[in-house]
Amino acid sequence: MDLLQGTLDLLVLRAVELAPMHGVGIADRIQQVTRGAFVVKPGSLFPALRRLEQKGWLEGEWAHSENNRRARYYKLTRAGRAQLAEEKRKWYRMTSAMNWMLESK
């Protein structure tokens, strides 16, 4: 399934909401949680990560991964958390609006 325009940011922010993660982990998590519906390729994932970091919503930090590789872990900042809440609200508003429309008689 293709990503809707603008939803990648929301997916990424949500993926790191609970714990910091590295890039490949984020992609895996999105794929798992959405049951394979969204596959984020590196070509769009890394630009998104860097962009979100530049906006101050994510913070990158080097650490060692589970199989002992150096990886860059992304953590949600305070501003990122606020942004996530905002994005969620927007998303719910939009989906309910869509539902009303689709389910109207």
Site for another protein, rule CB under 8 A: 22-24, 41-44, 46-48, 50-51, 54-56, 60, 65, 67, 69-72
Nearest approach in angstroms of CB 3 to another protein is: 15
Nearest approach in angstroms of CB 23 to another protein is: 5
Measured from the CB atom, is 70 or 105 closer to another protein?
A: 70
Measured from the CB atom, is 8 or 84 closer to another protein?
A: 8
Nearest approach in angstroms of CB 20 to another protein is: 14
Sheet hosting strand 58-64, strand order edge to edge: 21-22, 70-76, 58-64
C-alpha span between 101 and 70 (Å, rounded): 48
Length of the chain: 105
Measured from the CB atom, is 5 or 67 closer to another protein?
A: 67
Tokens, residue 87:
């994005």
C-alpha span between 2 and 40 (Å, rounded): 10
Measured from the CB atom, is 49 or 84 closer to another protein?
A: 49
C-alpha span between 77 and 13 (Å, rounded): 10
Tokens, residue 13:
């922010």
